[in-house]
Every structure is written in structure tokens, then in C-alpha cells.
Amino acid sequence: MSTDTPAGPTDEPSRAELAARVAELEEELADLGEDVAAAQTEEKMVIVATQGTLDMAYPPLILASTAAAFGYDVTVFHTFWGLEILHEDHASELSLSAVGNPNLSVPNAVAALPGMDAVTSRMMRQKIDDENVASVEELIQTSLDTGVDLQACQMTMELFDYEETAFFEGVTTGVGAATAFQEMAEADIQLLV
């Protein structure tokens, strides 16, 4: 019965060798842990903001300021109508149309009447104010104060004839798609709004 007990091989690693190997692996694991921690401290989000209506100005600004509070490095690249959000004179006058918007209970035939966009926008702005939701300008200022990089696409600035001085102080200009793409490639979160 006892004859099938294998004789111990002589090249079996000693206890000391095993202990050394364990110590080596523990060290490697600790290094990996540090790498992971370092990667986590450099979390980054990039949002591309393409819309300039009152309702669509909110999601990028709210997410940007929130992500900054989470310690993220945040960039919002504004292109096409998204530039309106950064425009110092236009930001407080962003509008909203009820035409083709089934979420607003105004028939299209009525919504298309002259002056109706202004009425709809005023009602929305009033509602925002009544509910103590921050204004677009307030969110822009908060975003800038918390280190969010608000960028204005150079190509659309030229398309719309906007000078750098038309935007809020602190807005980054002179950037294009390549810059935005490079930042998106490095980011953990990329959103198109």
C-alpha cells in the first residue's frame, strides 16, 4: 500500500526560495497597485457641445461642473451652435422652439406664429428661475472657477464671425478638431451633446 508514495524530488524549491518568490510577487503587486492608483487620479472627461438651445445648454454644463467636483480633468469642446453657450451676450438669451417639439404642448401651427419662440423661451426661463435651477451664466462661471476647460472651436468661430473677445473670459480659443480628438483619445469619458 505504501509503495505508491512518491519519493520527494530533490529539485523541489526550498521553503526559503518560496518565501523569496512570494516576497517578489508581493512587491510586483504593490507596484501594480500604485500604477492603478496613479491612472485613477488622472481621470478625464471630454464633452463635445454642438447645440445652442436653452435646454441643450444644460447637460454639458451640469456634467462638466459635476465631473470637476469629482476631481476629473474636464474639457468641453464647443462647436457650431454650442458656441452660443460661451458667447457673453448670447448665453443669457438662449432660446427654445416649440415647433416640432412634442414635449411642449403647443400645436405646431400655433408654435410657428411669429414671436412664439420668444414666448416659449421666456416661459422656460421663468420655470428655471422658479425651480431654483442655476442659470446658464452661473454654470459657466462655476465651471470656469472649478477648472473646466471650456473651448471654442476655431473653425466655427470663423464661420460665425465670432471674435475671441465675444466669449466669457477664461474660454480657450484657437483649438480645432485634432486637439479635441487627442483629448478624447486620452479621456475615460467622451460625450457628444
CB of 139 or CB of 153, closer to other proteins: 139
The verdict on 70 binding other proteins (CB under 8 A) reads yes
Query: Is 145 one of the binding residues for other proteins (CB under 8 A)?
Result: yes
One of 116, 134, 177, 191 touching other proteins (CB under 8 A): 134
65 binds other proteins (CB under 8 A): yes
Residue selected from 18, 19, 29, 69 as contacting other proteins according to rule CB under 8 A: 69
Q: Tell me: does residue 39 bind other proteins (CB under 8 A).
A: no
Q: Is 191 in the site for other proteins (CB under 8 A)?
A: no
Q: Is 74 in the site for other proteins (CB under 8 A)?
A: no
- In angstroms, give the least distance from the CB of 65 to other proteins: 5
- Grid cell of 63 as nine digits: 456634467
- 146 binding other proteins? (CB under 8 A): yes
By CB under 8 A, name the binding residues for other proteins: 62, 65-66, 68-71, 131-134, 142, 145-146
